[in-house]
Amino acid sequence: MSILITNIKQLLQVHKHNVTIIKGNAMKTLSLLENAYVYIEHDTIIEYGVMKDCHGIEAEITVDATGKIVLPSWCDSHTHIVYAGNRTSEFVDRINGLSYAEIANNGGGILNSAKLLQNTSEDDLYDQSIKRLDELIKMGTGAVEIKTGYGLTVEAELKMLRVIKRIKQESQAIIIPTILAAHAIPEAYRSKKEDYIKLITEELIPKAAKLNIAHYIDVFCEEGYFDIEDTETILKAGLKHNLRPKIHVNQFNILGGVALGVKHNALSVDHLEELDENDVKALKNSDTIPVALPGCSYFLSIPYTPARQLIDAGLPLAIATDYNPGSAPSGNMNFIVGAACVKLKLTPEEAINAATINGAYAMGISNMYGSITRGKKANLIITKPLNHYSEIPYAFAHNPVEQVIINGQLL
């Protein structure tokens, strides 16, 4: 199939050369063309430019984007969208004054989701999860990282991986799977955490690696979950199977997870609601990207990641939804871009860079996704009529997306 999109008011994130990450001060610039076109063949961006240079292109489908903005699809580099049921009762408990930690200590939280998932059939889990993904696609997300971590037994974690694999086969969206068996310590291992870590490193990771689905290994490095030593043990076991680290750190406490991640060449370190100078120093001159999750801060009423400190130190930043039943039950990247502006004090240009090219980097796919570049995959958003791209974060909680193209298919 070939598609020509014409009369685009603003075509965002246009790069002649294949950029794969945008850092520091450069994030303030969003490269764009006004009154532009894009031409797609099969799943690839073939050509783009300004309308006065758009002659002689014959496409099977022509989309007139007069008054509309076209940009790369959102790249959501941190989600937990494979889960069963929900945790609305904990939501109400929190409104009534309990903290996230108190709920978890009473057997709620991640363990609650694990129980639900263990008792849900693979087909049902698939149906619930693909529905969430379809909703995200309609809101402009074209690439999604999905973590395990609500199984917490070998069988249930493998069930999650098989569901993620099926989603990857069935969906048009790009799916990047991550193993997060070290998400919480299961009830049965409460007084013998070492045994659970052994189960992860000696049985679960080797079996999961055999399925040949996952790209990354994740650990919830946090007080009451997995400490620095546990985290390093699990990362090393993952690395043996070519699973690169991509980890949860500094959500509530600073344990040194950022430096540990950098030491093991993590692709990303995510959360960072708490951050100190040592963390910033560790990230400098590394290939590890920090990822902020403002939806989690919003929902749990915890601090927002000090994103300015990171960007102003010359570092890159990605933003993602953290879509999960406990701390961020929304996968709307449009809201995340808005929240990044309002709460992290990113400019619209920085927020859009963080949600496109840098999100793609945080999934290891920015050589093919995240910008409008000849030869890159055609994953695009066509917005409703807007005067300027700043209206995307400005009109928070609106859905500015009118149509999406994923892998060259107009959905």
List of residues contacting ligand NIG (CB under 6 A): 109-110, 113, 220, 248, 251, 296, 322, 324-327
What's the CA gap between 134 and 172, in Å, rounded? Answer: 9
According to DSSP, the residues that pair with 221 across neighbouring strands are 226
| 30-38, 197-205, 280-288, 319-327 -> range binding Fe ion (CB under 5 A) | 319-327
Residue 377 contact partner, candidates Fe ion, ligand NIG, none, CB within 5 to 8 A by sort of partner: none
What's the CA gap between 245 and 268, in Å, rounded? Answer: 7
What's the CA gap between 15 and 26, in Å, rounded? Answer: 13
Of 295 and 316, which CB lies nearer to ligand NIG in the complex structure? 295
Minimum CB distance to ligand NIG, residue 180 (Å)? 8
Of 27 and 197, which CB lies nearer to ligand NIG in the complex structure? 197
Of 49 and 303, which CB lies nearer to Fe ion in the complex structure? 303
Minimum CB distance to ligand NIG, residue 287 (Å)? 22
**Residues 271-310, mask of contacts with Fe ion (x by CB under 5 A):** ----------------------------------------
What is the separation of C-alpha 32 from the centre of its chain, rounded to a whole number of angstroms?
Answer: 24
157 binds Fe ion (CB under 5 A): no
Minimum CB distance to ligand NIG, residue 47 (Å)? 40
What's the CA gap between 394 and 195, in Å, rounded? Answer: 49
Query: Residue for token digits 């240079």?
Result: 53
Q: List C-alpha distances in Å: 41 to 4, 47, 71, 113.
A: 9, 9, 17, 43
Residue 327 contact partner, candidates Fe ion, ligand NIG, none, CB within 5 to 8 A by sort of partner: ligand NIG
Quick one: which H or E segment has residue 100?
Answer: helix 100-105
Minimum CB distance to Fe ion, residue 80 (Å)? 6
Identity of residue 322:
D
Quick one: which H or E segment has residue 72?
Answer: strand 69-72
Of 219 and 404, which CB lies nearer to ligand NIG in the complex structure? 219
For residue 403, what are the contacts with CB-CB under 8 A and spacing of at least 6?
A: 63, 381, 382, 410, 411
Residue 251 contact partner, candidates Fe ion, ligand NIG, none, CB within 5 to 8 A by sort of partner: ligand NIG
DSSP labels, 209-263: HHHT---EEEEBBSTTSB-HHHHHHHHHHHHHTT-EEEEEE-SS---SHHHHHHH
Of 32 and 180, which CB lies nearer to ligand NIG in the complex structure? 180
Minimum CB distance to ligand NIG, residue 196 (Å)? 16
Quick one: which H or E segment has residue 353?
Answer: helix 348-355
Query: Residue for token digits 């263990």?
Result: 118
Of 20 and 250, which CB lies nearer to ligand NIG in the complex structure? 250
Minimum CB distance to ligand NIG, residue 16 (Å)? 37
Identity of residue 373:
T
145 binds Fe ion (CB under 5 A): no
What is the separation of C-alpha 280 from the centre of its chain, rounded to a whole number of angstroms?
Answer: 21
Minimum CB distance to Fe ion, residue 319 (Å)? 13
322 binds Fe ion (CB under 5 A): yes
- The count of residues interacting with Fe ion (CB under 5 A) is 1
Residue with the CB atom nearest ligand NIG in the bound state: 326
Minimum CB distance to Fe ion, residue 293 (Å)? 7
What's the CA gap between 141 and 126, in Å, rounded? Answer: 19
Q: Name the residues that contact Fe ion, by CB under 5 A.
A: 322
